[in-house]
Amino acid sequence: MPKVAKALSALEVKRLNTPGVHAVGTVPGLMLRVGDTGQRYWFLRTTIKGKRTDIGIGSYPETSLADAHAEGRRLKAKIAVGGDPVAERAAPAKAAKQTFRAVADAYIDSHRSGWKNDKHAQQWANTLETYAHSVIGTKNVGDVTVADVLAILQPIWAVKNETATRVRQRIELVLSYGMALGHAPKGLNPAAWRGNLDNLLPKPSKVAKVEHHPAVPFPDAPHFFQRLQEMPGMGARCLEFVMLTACRSGEARLAIWGEFDLTAGIWTIPAVRMKAGREHRVPLSGPVLALLKALPRLEDEPLVFPGMKPKKPLSDMTLTACMRRLNVKDQEGRQCVPHGLRSTFRDWASEVTNTPNEIVEMALAHAIENAAEAAYRRGDLLRKREQLMADWAAFIGDTASDENLAKNPLLPKQ
The pTM of the full predicted model, rounded to 2 decimals, is 0.53
pLDDT of 369 over the 80 cut:
no
Give the pLDDT confidence score for residue 403 in this predicted structure.
40
Nearby residues of 122 by Cβ (< 8 Å), 6 or more positions away: none
Whole-angstrom distance, CA of residue 300 vs CA of residue 245: 26
Q: Quick check: 60 and 143 in contact, CB under 8 A?
A: no
CATH homologous superfamily of 10-85 equals: Integrase, DNA-binding domain (3.30.160.390)
Give the pLDDT confidence score for residue 367 in this predicted structure.
62
Element (H, E) at 252: helix 249-253
Q: What is the dihedral of CA 162, 166, 167, 169, to 10 degrees?
A: 140
Pick the CATH number of 218-407 from 1.10.340.30, 1.10.443.10, 2.60.120.10, 3.40.50.300: 1.10.443.10
pLDDT band at residue 252 under the 50/70/90 scheme = very high
Identical topology for domains 10-85 and 100-207: no
How much is the average pLDDT of 37-48?
A: 82
The segment with the largest mean pLDDT, out of 39-43, 179-183, 274-278, 360-364, is: 360-364
pLDDT of 407 over the 50 cut:
no
The region of weakest confidence among 61-75, 119-133, 167-181, 365-379 is 365-379
Q: What is the dihedral of CA 239, 244, 249, 255, to 10 degrees?
A: -100
Give the ranges where 112-214 is alpha helix by DSSP (H): 118-131, 133-136, 146-157, 161-180, 204-207
Of 37, 11, 35, residue with least CA distance to 24:
11
**Across all residues in the chain, what is the average pLDDT?**
83
Give the pLDDT confidence score for residue 237 in this predicted structure.
95
Q: Quick check: 211 and 159 in contact, CB under 8 A?
A: no
CATH homologous superfamily of 100-207 equals: Tyrosine recombinase, N-terminal domain (1.10.150.130)
Domain boundaries, the chain: 10-85, 100-207, 218-407
Give the pLDDT confidence score for residue 180 in this predicted structure.
85
